[in-house]
């Protein structure tokens, strides 16, 4: 009888990571029978990968960010969170009757459900990092006395679940966190972060030249209506940057999630005074050509609006102005700096952005207005030492590519 593996995950980014690990597993073990249960959202990543779902799915108002705001938890409860969780737990109980193994990807929710299943399981921890509380030099100044007493960003009850007899391996997101969990006698393997494996250019990148335009990535996030609200702030940032750098050609790369309707983004661009450019081939400052993209010009700046070139945008850009979670981390993992501007949420609030600056260290700069973004970008580009530190820091905190395959190999060895 072929081995069976159920994957539990709780978020869009976590689903994508799980799908990549499952693909590597099946490449190494074609007889492996896989199934999934996304605990948050609709599970579209699994559907695209043709991984069968074993239980109910339902998008909730918070998009999975209840930990950022208690009001989001209340909205989710009114939207059916309790009933959905109970139905999903019943699905796990039905699945376990056939035996098998469980892979949990995300935070304590899939970790707890994997532990409750009673089956052997492994955990890919995507949500937590000890970098939130410390770095290689020691505790961060913002870390409270209570957090220092706790010892690790993974709290005692989470560590207890990882120390159980059915937990066969834990894959933290970075070396610092792995070492801390190993201190607590947890089988934590430092194999890298699969988040960086998803970045591949969809279109060829034009080779650099000394006089090319500065390429600035705009990341509004992937959830509506927050992404549309963030986009209006990012447009203000782009115009503030262009006003401050009038002697330089600029190319803003707007990476819009494919699932979003492009119309509101286009309307905001036109309302801000950008003019549409029809002849893409004549624009020498473009780093790549997306046939389905839209191009706009305003003064010394071009703006590329694309939904098909996420990897190309991250690869080509020099710096990012970010109001996103996973995408910002992926960009920093490429060794590039990001400037963050908090929004109204529910995800990218000030609390989220401040926490992300601790997670990403010197690679991320927090600003409080479009004008502040422009000033901080100016200072950054005039500081080559800071740019070099960001390049080194990004790889240290996100790791090198290939983590999904390394994790798959380890799972075959210790779980399946």
Residue 122: domain span: 4-193+400-414
Cβ-defined contacts of 159-165 (< 8 Å, 24+): 159/184, 159/186, 161/108, 161/111, 161/112, 161/115, 162/111, 162/123, 162/186, 162/187, 162/188, 164/115
pLDDT at 192 (0 to 100): 93
Structure token digits, residue 32: 């492996």
Same domain, 51 and 92: yes
Q: Considering the domain boundaries, does residue 115 fall inside one? A: yes
pLDDT at 167 (0 to 100): 97
Same domain, 257 and 273: yes
Same domain, 88 and 220: no
- pTM of the full predicted structure? 0.88
Q: What are phi and psi of 172, to 5 degrees?
A: -70, 170
Same domain, 91 and 163: yes
Q: Considering the domain boundaries, does residue 205 fall inside one? A: no
Same domain, 332 and 316: yes
Same domain, 388 and 302: yes
Cβ-defined contacts of 242-245 (< 8 Å, 24+): 242/298, 242/299, 242/300, 242/301, 243/374, 244/374, 244/375, 244/377, 244/378, 245/214, 245/300, 245/374, 245/378
Count how many domains the chain has. Answer: 2
Q: What is the pLDDT along the chain (416 residues), one digit of tens a residue?
A: 568 999 999 887 889 899 999 999 999 999 999 999 998 878 888 999 999 999 877 666 555 554 545 555 556 555 556 777 888 889 899 999 989 999 999 999 999 999 999 999 999 999 899 999 999 999 999 999 999 999 999 999 999 999 999 999 999 999 999 999 999 999 999 999 998 887 889 999 987 777 789 999 999 998 889 999 999 999 999 999 999 998 889 999 999 988 899 999 999 999 999 999 987 666 778 899 898 999 999 999 999 999 999 999 999 999 999 999 889 999 999 999 999 999 988 889 999 999 999 999 999 999 999 999 999 999 999 999 999 999 999 989 998 889 999 999 999 999 98
Same domain, 237 and 122: no
pLDDT at 66 (0 to 100): 45
Same domain, 237 and 102: no
Same domain, 143 and 277: no
The CATH number of residue 269's host domain is 3.40.50.2000
Same domain, 145 and 270: no
Residue 12: asked if its preceding bond is cis (omega within 30°), the reply is no
The rounded distance, in Å, linking the Cα atoms of 349 and 342 is 5
Q: Considering the domain boundaries, does residue 53 fall inside one? A: yes
End-to-end alpha carbon distance in the chain: 13
Angle at 237 between CA 334 and CA 313, to 5 degrees: 30
Sign of CA dihedral 114, 41, 177, 68: negative
Report how far apart, in Å, the C-alpha atoms of 414 and of each of 96, 158, 168, 170, 410 are: 19, 21, 6, 11, 6
Helix (H, G, I), strand (E, B) or coil at 250: strand
Q: Are 272 and 266 in contact (CB under 8 A)?
A: no
Structure token digits, residue 183: 């201190």
Q: Hey, which bits of 54-161 come out as E strands?
A: 101-106, 121-125, 134-135, 138-139
Same domain, 137 and 234: no
From the CB of residue 82, how many other CB atoms can be counted at a distance below 10 Å?
Answer: 11
What would you measure as the largest C-alpha separation in the chain, in angstroms?
68
């Amino acid at each position: 009888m072929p081995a069976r593996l159920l994957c539990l995950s709780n978020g869009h980014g976590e689903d994508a990571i799980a799908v990549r690990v499952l693909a590597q597993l099946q490449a190494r073990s074609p007889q492996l029978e896989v199934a999934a249960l996304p605990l948050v959202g609709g599970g579209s990543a699994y559907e695209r990968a043709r991984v069968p779902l074993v239980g109910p799915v339902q998008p909730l108002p918070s998009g999975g960010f209840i930990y950022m705001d208690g009001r989001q938890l209340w909205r989710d409860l009114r939207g059916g969170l309790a009933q959905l969780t109970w139905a999903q737990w019943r699905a796990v109980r039905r699945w376990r009757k056939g035996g098998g193994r469980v892979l949990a990807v995300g935070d304590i929710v899939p970790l707890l459900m994997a532990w409750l299943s009673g089956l052997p399981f492994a955990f890919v921890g995507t949500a937590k990092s000890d970098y939130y509380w410390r770095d290689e030099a020691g505790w961060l100044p913002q870390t409270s006395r209570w957090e220092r007493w706790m010892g690790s960003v993974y709290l005692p009850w989470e560590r207890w679940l990882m120390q159980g007899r059915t937990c066969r391996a834990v894959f933290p997101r970075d070396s610092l966190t792995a070492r801390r969990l190993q201190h607590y006698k947890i089988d934590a393997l430092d194999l890298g972060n699969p988040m960086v494996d998803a970045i591949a250019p969809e279109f060829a990148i034009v080779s650099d030249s000394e006089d090319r335009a500065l390429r600035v990535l705009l990341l509004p996030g992937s959830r509506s209506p927050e992404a549309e609200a963030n986009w209006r702030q990012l447009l203000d940032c782009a115009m503030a940057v262009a006003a401050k750098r009038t002697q330089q050609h600029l190319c803003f790369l707007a990476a819009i999630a494919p699932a979003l309707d492009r119309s509101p983004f286009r309307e905001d661009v036109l309302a801000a005074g950008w003019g549409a450019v029809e002849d893409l081939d004549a624009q020498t400052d473009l780093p790549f050509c997306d046939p389905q993209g839209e191009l706009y010009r305003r003064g010394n700046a071009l703006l590329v609006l694309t939904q098909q070139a996420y990897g190309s945008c991250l690869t080509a850009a020099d710096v990012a102005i970010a109001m996103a979670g996973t995408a910002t981390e992926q960009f920093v993992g490429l060794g590039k700096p990001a400037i963050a501007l908090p929004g109204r949420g529910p995800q990218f609030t000030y609390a989220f952005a401040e926490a992300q600056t601790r997670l990403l260290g010197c690679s991320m700069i927090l600003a409080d207005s479009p004008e502040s973004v422009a000033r901080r970008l100016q200072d950054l580009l005039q500081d080559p030492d800071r740019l070099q530190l960001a390049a080194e820091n990004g790889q240290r905190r996100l790791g090198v590519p290939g983590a999904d395959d390394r994790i798959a190999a380890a799972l075959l060895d210790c779980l399946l």
